[in-house]
Amino acid sequence: MATPRLDRIPSADGDTFTGHVVLPPAGSGPGVLLLQEIFGVNDFVLGKAEALAGLGYVVCCPDVFWRVERDVALGHDDEALARGLELGGRFGSEVDGDVTLSDLTAALDHLRGLPETTGRVGVLGYCLGGTLAYLVATAAPVDACVSYYGSGVAGALDRADRLGCPALFHFGGRDDYIAAADADAVAAAFSSRDDVVVRIEPDAGHAFENLLSPHFANPDAASRSWPVTADFLARWLQQR
């Protein structure tokens, strides 16, 4: 059974923020830094952490929003969506991007330094976290990156040559928040790399893997995408 706990992660400027850590049944394994949607470290994110721990990973879910509001964990109704969009807007306008990357690199270092983390470390994120996962992978040494429907990835392709690890990008073909041309641009930017995969679920919208959200859930697309993610992480993080 997976074991959850709360860690305090030190930031570069002397503060600390929460990291939800989930250990696999074996007690140790490769690490995955799991980055939240705009809804915070909520039941969806923690459910994914449990699933990843069940696959043998030590998972850390840092509190990305802590500089604007600590320990956000929103639900999945209309009010939560409006609140998440408001917090995401504040986060984007009030927190400098370099500061965010510093915080996430600190979380990555914390995960890598845990006695339970053995071997390789990857980063995986959803929505906002999908963009941040890509940015982390272009700024810090990681062994694999999985980005789900990151709306900011296409706008940060000037960093593509800094991506130093294998990567898997998931997009929905009917995403109201990400233009099809943006997903195509990501695919084109990495077309020469055999270790970068861009998957587009043609009938899926945004956040299709969040099965707890009535706004976004697409069980068929999720049933296809998650095994691809599991296989990708196993290939790049569980190598001996």
Q: Could you list the active site residues?
A: 127, 175, 206
Burial of 12 (0-12, 13-18, 19+ CB in 10 A): exposed
Token digits of residue 126 = 């959803």
Instruction: Report the sign of the C-alpha dihedral through residues 66, 19, 51, 111, in that order.
Output: positive
14-33-230 Cα angle (round to 5)? 180
